[in-house]
């Protein structure tokens, strides 16, 4: 195969390459050309619409699956969260016992501190918001119109709740449920970026 100057020389020889084009005005004179072009354009647009509809259906199925998986992980997290206050209480009591060998901390003070820590470790609000966001995602997927931006925003909110759930977690099980949620939310967010 010729390259560089040899190719340029070859291309310059008359008859090797001939450019011939017909203008749109000339096409009008060719019988059936305009109708063929119009029919071809309509077929292309129809094919594009069908492909977009199929892609939309596939994305809906995928996103619905992600929301379903989030729902299952939410239920797991809810079960693990039931022990959250007790775990925080036990950990704090154990630490106080380790550091307070002379019994300087009163039972009343210990109870107050445990109550404050248990309130800080409460994940009820995060779980409630996760449930609401999952339900909102299902509503968006079942609605008509452009929902891509809303799904993207929803993914951010879901991720925020999963992050908080992990940061407040007092158990490995709850942390793992939160991390699994984050993984599914990332997949959801990635696919939501493909939605108009």
> What CATH number labels 34-192?
1.20.140
Task: Give the closest residue to 87 by CA, choosing from 181, 178, 162, 168.
Answer: 168
For 76-88, the pLDDT digits (tens) are 999 998 887 777 7
pTM of the model: 0.69
User: How far is CA 70 from each of CA 26, 38, 134, rounded to the nearest angstrom?
Assistant: 60, 47, 7
For 13-54, the pLDDT digits (tens) are 776 666 666 666 777 777 887 788 888 889 989 998 898 889
Alpha carbon distance 10, 157 (integer Å): 62
Give pLDDT, residue 21.
66
Task: Yes or no: say if 36 and 44 are a contact pair by the CB < 8 Å rule.
Answer: no
The answer for residues whose C-beta is within 8 angstroms of residue 123's C-beta and 6 or more apart is: 77, 81, 84, 164, 165, 168, 169, 174
């Amino acid at each position: 195969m010729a390259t560089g100057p040899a190719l340029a020389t070859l291309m310059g020889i008359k008859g090797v390459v001939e450019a011939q084009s017909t203008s749109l005005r000339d096409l009008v004179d060719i019988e059936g050309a305009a109708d063929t072009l119009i029919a071809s354009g309509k077929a292309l647009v129809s094919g594009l619409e069908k492909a977009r509809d199929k892609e939309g259906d596939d994305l809906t199925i995928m996103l619905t699956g992600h929301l379903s998986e989030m729902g299952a992980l939410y239920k797991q997290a809810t079960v693990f969260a039931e022990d959250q206050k007790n775990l925080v209480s036990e950990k704090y009591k154990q630490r106080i016992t380790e550091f307070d060998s002379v019994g300087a901390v009163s039972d009343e003070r210990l109870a107050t501190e445990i109550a404050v820590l248990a309130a800080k470790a409460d994940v009820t609000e995060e779980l409630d918001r996760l449930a609401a966001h999952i339900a909102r995602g299902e509503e968006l997927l079942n609605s008509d119109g452009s929902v891509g931006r809303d799904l993207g925003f929803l993914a951010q909110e879901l991720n925020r709740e999963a992050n908080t759930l992990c940061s407040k977690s007092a158990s490995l099980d709850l942390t793992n449920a939160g991390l699994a949620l984050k993984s599914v939310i990332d997949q959801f967010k990635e696919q939501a970026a493909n939605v108009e």
